[in-house]
Amino acid sequence: MDATSRIKFAISVLLLATLACGVNLTAPSAQPPAGQVDTAVAQSIAGTSAVQTAIAQGVAGTMGPGQPSLQPELPSLTPTISLTPTMTLTTTVEKVMLTVSQTTNCRKGPGAVYDWVGALDPGEQVEVIAKDPQGSSWYIRNPDNSSVFCWIFGQYAIITGNHGALPVYTPMPTPTIAITKTPTALPADFTVSYQSIEDCSGGGVGEYWINFDILNTGNVTWQSWFGSVTDTATGQTTAAGWNFFHYVVGCASSTLQDDLTKGESGGVYTGAFANNPTGHAIIAIIRLCTLDDYHGTCLTKEIHFTP
């Protein structure tokens, strides 16, 4: 029997003994006096109280420091906090890359009016930095000079990556192009230049002819010409005129031309001088007309030369 059972047993015996002392088991007799009843009740209550005190003292006296308490112990709950690890997300920005299917120029702006600064060949790949407002040209690092940037037209471009997220750059203003006016040909114009001297003196008689080249630089067709030449050294003047154009070659006329159209050239000549004009200052006056026999619109040119 363990200590607790022995205590319970002792208490039970004590309780029975107390009750036995307070109860009269003999046959009932005459009614006891009132004072005697009150004394018996008080003794019974006192005995019960003594039993309860004994029980409490007995139990307390049997509990050692290492023995468990009769009171149930509630478990001590320590909350456990489960922490979810915080993930640090690193955003990786995808680069937008560009290649071309044909060699494409790279310029200072998005258009052929901007200066050329480089070119991208098929097989080369560059990173796209931005796009123009129309999304038709791309701002890239110059493939021929990585320290600067340039614009490339997207006609032959092949784009990989999210180009929709690219920033929009406003290109530099369109350069002012200096317009050079092409001189227009006058309605009627020509140039004349000295060509050669032909010595056709033959049997000692002086006969020297001077050839000239005519170029039609106007918008009309020349049909006839007239020319006079003065040798300032001798004072001699000769003249000639025809409805066709040709040269004197070896004292014979070359192939004849009926007229001189726009941009066409032909020959005229004057003579003959009695003395060789080589080394002399010559003044030549050549007149061309748009109709035969020196009619129509005519224009005269004067040149000075020394053959």
Strands 157-160 and 126-131: unpaired
Q: Is 4 helix (H, G, I), strand (E, B) or coil?
A: helix
Residues 144 and 248 placed together within one structural domain of the fold: no
Residues 159 and 261 placed together within one structural domain of the fold: no
Nearest one of 190, 194, 195, 166 to 261, comparing CA atoms? 190
Number of separate domains in the chain: 2
Residue 238 maps to which CATH number? 2.60.40
In this predicted model, what pLDDT tens digit does every residue of 130-177 receive, in sequence order? 999 988 899 999 988 888 899 999 989 999 989 888 999 988 887 765
> Which pLDDT belongs to residue 26?
46
> Which pLDDT belongs to residue 280?
93
Q: For the chain, count helices (H), then strands (E).
A: 2, 16
Q: Is residue 148 part of a domain?
A: yes
In this predicted model, what pLDDT tens digit does every residue of 187-224 receive, in sequence order? 889 999 999 988 887 655 678 889 999 999 999 999 99
Q: Is residue 253 part of a domain?
A: yes
Residue-number span of the structural domain to which 264 is assigned: 190-305
Contact at 8 Å (CB) between 154 and 99?
Answer: no
Residues 244 and 298 placed together within one structural domain of the fold: yes
Residues 235 and 281 placed together within one structural domain of the fold: yes
Query: Does an H or E element contain 120, and which?
Result: strand 116-120
For residues 28-65, one letter each, b for 16 or more C-beta atoms within 10 angstroms of the residue's C-beta and e for the rest, the string is: eeeeeeeeeeeeeeeeeeebeeebeebbeebeeeeeee
Residues 141 and 198 placed together within one structural domain of the fold: no
> Which pLDDT belongs to residue 163?
87
Contact at 8 Å (CB) between 132 and 169?
Answer: yes
Last residue of a domain, one of 129, 148, 165: 165
Residues 158 and 206 placed together within one structural domain of the fold: no
Nearest one of 202, 279, 200, 212 to 240, comparing CA atoms? 212
Last residue of a domain, one of 123, 148, 165: 165
pLDDT band at 99 (very low <50, low <70, confident <90, very high): very high
Q: Which tokens hold the place of 23?
A: 């109860």
> Which pLDDT belongs to residue 28?
46
In sequence order, the 6+-apart residues with CB closer than 8 A to the CB of 51 are 11, 14, 15, 18
> Which pLDDT belongs to residue 256?
78
Residues 243 and 299 placed together within one structural domain of the fold: yes
Residues 159 and 203 placed together within one structural domain of the fold: no
Q: Is residue 122 part of a domain?
A: yes
Residues 227 and 265 placed together within one structural domain of the fold: yes
Nearest one of 163, 162, 94 to 135, comparing CA atoms? 163
Mean pLDDT of 226-230: 91
Residue 131 maps to which CATH number? 2.30.30.40
Residues 158 and 238 placed together within one structural domain of the fold: no
Q: Is residue 170 part of a domain?
A: no
Strands 149-153 and 137-141: antiparallel
Q: Is residue 228 part of a domain?
A: yes
Confidence (pTM) = 0.41
Q: Is residue 200 part of a domain?
A: yes
Is the pLDDT at 66 greater than 70, yes or no?
no
Q: Is residue 89 part of a domain?
A: no
CA separation for the pair 234, 19 (Å, rounded): 188
Q: Which of 13-17, 65-69, 267-271 has the highest mean pLDDT?
A: 267-271
Q: Is residue 11 part of a domain?
A: no
Last residue of a domain, one of 165, 181, 199: 165
Q: Is 264 helix (H, G, I), strand (E, B) or coil?
A: coil
Q: Which strands, in side-by-side order, build the sheet including 224-231?
A: 236-242, 224-231, 282-291, 295-305
